[in-house]
Amino acid sequence: MMPEFGRKRIYQIVGVGCGALLAGSLLVRAAFGPRSERQVFLPSGSELQSGAVQVKDINLLKALPPKDRAEKLTKIAQSRESVERSRARYLLATELLAQGQASKAIQQLDKLEKDYPVMAGYVRLKRSQAYTKAGQTDKAQAEWKAVLAEHPNDAVTVEALYALGKAEPQYWDQAIAKFPAHPKTIEIVQQRLKQNPNQRDLLLLMARHGLYVEGYTKLLDRLVEQHAKQLTPADWEAIAFGYWEKQAYGKAGMAYAKAPTSPRNAYRVARGLQLGEKPGATLAYQQMIATFPKAPETGLALLRLSRIVDPKTAIAYLDQAISRFPDHAGAALLEKSKVLDALNSKEAATQTRQTLLAQYGNSDAAAELRWQLAQERAKAGDLAAAMNWVKPIPAQNPDSELAPEAAFWLGKWATRLGQHQQAQQAFEQVLTQHPESYYAWRSASMLGWEVGDFTSVRQLDPAIARPKARPPVPAGSETLHELNLLGQDADAWTLWQTEFRNPQEPSVAEQFTDGVMRLGVGDNLDGLFMISYLSERETPAEQTEYKKLKQQLGYWYALYPFPFMGEIEAWSQERQLNPLLVTALIRQESRFMPKIKSAVGATGLMQVMPETGDWIAQKINLKKFDLAEPADNIKLGTWYLDYTHEEYADNSMLAIASYNAGPGAVAGWVAEKGLGDMDEFVETIPYSETRGYVKSVFQNYWNYLRLYNPEISQKLAQVSEAHPTIQ
C-alpha cells in the first residue's frame, strides 16, 4: 500500500462481480533469459490439428484466442459421439449465447440432454435462455416447465421457478420453500424485502444463506432490532454465526449468549465480547469453564482468561490448563513462566520453563522457548550455544511455524562458524520439510539455486508452465464437478450454495471446495481465506485430511492463483520487473480484489493511494485512470514498484519494504544501522507489519516459482516429498 505507511489495513469490499477467473490459470512465459527472447507457450498449431488439446484441458482452451477456441471446440463437437463431444457442444453453446448468437446456440443444444445426462438440467437451462434471447417466448416457457417436470429436486429448477415467477408469484414461493440457499432465491427474498423490509422469516433466511450479500450485517441488525423477542435459540445461532463471519465480534458474542448451549457457543460468547471490547468477557469465560469443565474449548478459554485477569489469579487458571488439558499444557507453561517473571519469581519461572522442555518438548510452546533462547545467545555472540538451542526444533517441533526459520538460521550460523556441511544440511532440511515457506526461498538462494536473491530477483524472467486441466474439487455432486471442469464458474458457485449444507462446521473437503468456488467468481479475499485457514484444523483426522490435500497440486494452484496475468505480464515487461514478484505483491496487497479499499483509501489490486495515483499519472502523462480497473491499477502500481527499485539500486527487499512503509522510513532504517546481512535486516525491521509484509511477498514469489516453473519444481521435488511436481 502506498504512500500511507505503517498502518494496519482493514479492507472493505466495495463491489465484486462474478468474473471469469480461473483458479490456477495463467499465461505462460519463457525460460530464464533475456526478456527480448520471451515466448508465450500456448497450444501450438500442431496440437490443434492433432486434437491434443481436449475440452477437459480447460486452462489451455481459455488461453486460446476466441476464434481459435471456437474452431477447436467445433472440431471436437463434430467428432464421434463421446463425453468430449458433448462438452464441446455445451461450451460452444454458452459462448454463442454470450455473443448474442441465440439461434446457433440452440442448434448446439438440440437434444444434447440425452447425450449429456449429468448436465441435462443445465442444457435445458441454456436452451431456455437461448429461446428467450431469440424472442421465442412460448418455447422458452415450455423449456422452463420441462426443467420443473424433469428435474424437480435439482438446484437448476430454481432458475425455472425464478423465470416463471415473474408472472406467477407462486413459483417464487416454491423457490423459497424448497431451495432457500440458492442465489436466485436470495434475489427473490431481496426483492420482497424491498417491498416490506421487516418480514421476520425472510430476514432469517437472509441471515442463514445471504452471507455474501452487500449490506448483510445491516440485515442482521434489522432482524435483531425488530424481532428479538420472537427469535428462537437456533435463530440466534444463525445470527451469531453471521456476525462472527463478518468479524462483528461484539455483536456475535451477545448473540451466541442466546444460542443453544454448547462448548463452542459458550467460548464464542466470551471471545466475542473480548474481541469486541464489550463488558462481561471475564465472567463469560468463567461461566464457560464451570459449565463445560472437560470440553476441548475450555483449555483455550483458560489461556484466554489468564491474560485478562491479575497475575496471581492468572496462575491459578494456567495451572488448571496444565493439569487438565495436555494439548494446551505447553502453551500454559510458557505463559505461566512469563507471569512468574513479571512477579519477579525468577526461580519458579526457570523451573516452569524446564518443565515445559522436559514434559512438553514437542509442543509449539517449547519451540517458541527454544527459539527465544537461541536468539538471546546469538545476540550475545555465542553462535555455538544458539545452534544447540535451535537444533531440536526441526526434529521435535516440525509442525511449528518457527521450524523453517530455526532451521534456516541454523544454516546461517553454521556458515559463519565455517561448518559448511552442516549449513548445507540445514538449508536442505528447510527445503525438504517446509518447501512452501519464505525460508525455503532463502535456503534455495543460499544453496545457489537460480531463484533470485534480494538484489537479483527483479531481473529474473522465469518460465511458467500452464496446468492443462482444472483440478477436481473434493466435495459436491457430479454435476458440480462437471461445471468446475468446464470452467462454468458462475453456475458452479450457484449450485454449490445449495449443496454446502453445513457452513458453520464444514468438513475439510467442503471448506476447500467452498474456497475454490469463491475464487471462481472473483471472491478471492474470502476464497483464499477459506483455503489458507484449513491449516488451523485441530483434530487428528482433520489434520490428516488436510495434509493429504496439501500433497495435491490443485490445493496449491488454488492457494496461489493467477488472475489478471495478462495485465501483470504486459506491465511487468514494460517496467522490466519480474512478473512473479508483481503477482506476489498483488496477492499480499489485495488478494486480487480489483475494487477493494483500505480504511485509509488505498484502492485496487496494488493498493494505490489516490494522491499517489495522481502523482504517477502526471509523471507518465496519463490523462484519465480508474484505480478500480485492473489495467490502470497495475499500470500505476508497477510504475511505483519500479520507482522504489530505482531508489534502492534494484534491491527488491528494500523496494518491497518501501512500498509498504514508505521510502522515508526505509531510508531511516538503512541510515541508522546500515544494510549489513540482509536476512538480519529483514528480521529487525522496526515495523512489525512491514517485517511480515516483506516475508509474505517473497514467500508468495517463491510459491509461484516452485509451483509453476518446471525447472525449480523438478529440482525441489528431488529433495522434498512434500512438494508436488508439475505434471
- Looking at residues 419-447, what average pLDDT do you find? 97
The CATH number of the domain holding residue 387 is: 1.25.40.10
What are 335-339's contacts with CB under 8 Å, separation 24+? 335/303, 335/306, 335/307, 337/369, 339/306, 339/311, 339/314, 339/315
In this predicted structure, what is the pLDDT of residue 42? 40
User: What's the CA gap between 453 and 621, in Å, rounded?
Assistant: 34
- 591 burial class (0-12, 13-18, 19+ CB within 10 angstroms)? buried
Asked if residue 703 and residue 586 are part of one domain, the reply reads yes
Asked if residue 603 and residue 488 are part of one domain, the reply reads no
- 534-573 pLDDT, tens digit per residue, is 999 988 999 999 999 999 999 999 999 999 988 999 999 9
- Per the domain annotation, does 245 fall within a domain? no
- Per the domain annotation, does 621 fall within a domain? yes
Asked if residue 621 and residue 498 are part of one domain, the reply reads no
- pLDDT higher than 50, residue 11: no
Strand pairing partners for 608? 2, 603
In this predicted structure, what is the pLDDT of residue 726? 62
Asked if residue 482 and residue 438 are part of one domain, the reply reads no
Contact 76, 51 (CB under 8 A): yes
Contact 62, 22 (CB under 8 A): yes
Phi/psi at 488 (nearest 5 deg)? -90, 75
Asked if residue 538 and residue 581 are part of one domain, the reply reads no
- pLDDT higher than 90, residue 353: yes
- 696-725 pLDDT, tens digit per residue, is 999 999 999 999 999 999 999 999 988 886
Confidence of residue 652 (pLDDT cuts 50, 70, 90): very high
In this predicted structure, what is the pLDDT of residue 26? 26
- pLDDT higher than 50, residue 7: no
Closest CA to 26 of 578, 704, 722: 704
In this predicted structure, what is the pLDDT of residue 624? 95
- Per the domain annotation, does 196 fall within a domain? no
- Per the domain annotation, does 412 fall within a domain? yes
User: What's the CA gap between 48 and 53, in Å, rounded?
Assistant: 6
Q: What is the largest CA-CA distance in the chain?
A: 87
Asked if residue 610 and residue 669 are part of one domain, the reply reads yes
Asked if residue 484 and residue 398 are part of one domain, the reply reads no
- What distance lies between CA 697 and its chain's CA centroid? 14
Asked if residue 173 and residue 89 are part of one domain, the reply reads yes
- 301-319 pLDDT, tens digit per residue, is 999 999 999 999 999 999 9
Domain count, the chain: 4
- pLDDT higher than 60, residue 133: yes
- 102-127 pLDDT, tens digit per residue, is 999 999 999 999 999 999 999 999 99
Mean of per-residue pLDDT scores for the chain: 91
Contact 497, 210 (CB under 8 A): no
In this predicted structure, what is the pLDDT of residue 55? 83
242 membership: H or E segment, kind and range? helix 233-245
- Looking at residues 256-264, what average pLDDT do you find? 98
- 318-352 pLDDT, tens digit per residue, is 999 999 999 999 999 999 999 999 999 999 999 99
Asked if residue 635 and residue 518 are part of one domain, the reply reads no
Residues 6+ apart with CB under 8 A from 707: 553, 556, 557, 560, 713, 726
- Per the domain annotation, does 339 fall within a domain? no
- 510-519 pLDDT, tens digit per residue, is 999 999 999 9
DSSP state of 295: S
The CATH number of the domain holding residue 661 is: 1.10.530.10
- Per the domain annotation, does 74 fall within a domain? yes
Question: Residue 580 sits in which domain range?
Answer: 564-717
Show which residues are catalytic. 589
2 three-class SS: strand
| Lookup: cell for 360 | 512438553
- What distance lies between CA 367 and its chain's CA centroid? 27
Asked which of 179, 197, 230 is the last residue of a domain, the reply is 179
- pLDDT higher than 90, residue 62: no
Residues 6+ apart with CB under 8 A from 584: 697, 698, 699, 700, 701, 704
- Per the domain annotation, does 332 fall within a domain? no
Asked if residue 664 and residue 523 are part of one domain, the reply reads no
In the block, residue with C-alpha cell 413459483:
171
Asked if residue 578 and residue 691 are part of one domain, the reply reads yes
| Lookup: cell for 227 | 424481532
- Per the domain annotation, does 509 fall within a domain? yes
- 36-56 pLDDT, tens digit per residue, is 333 334 444 444 444 456 887
346-359 vs 326-342: helix crossing angle, rounded to 10: 160
677 three-class SS: coil
Asked if residue 697 and residue 614 are part of one domain, the reply reads yes
- pLDDT higher than 60, residue 23: no
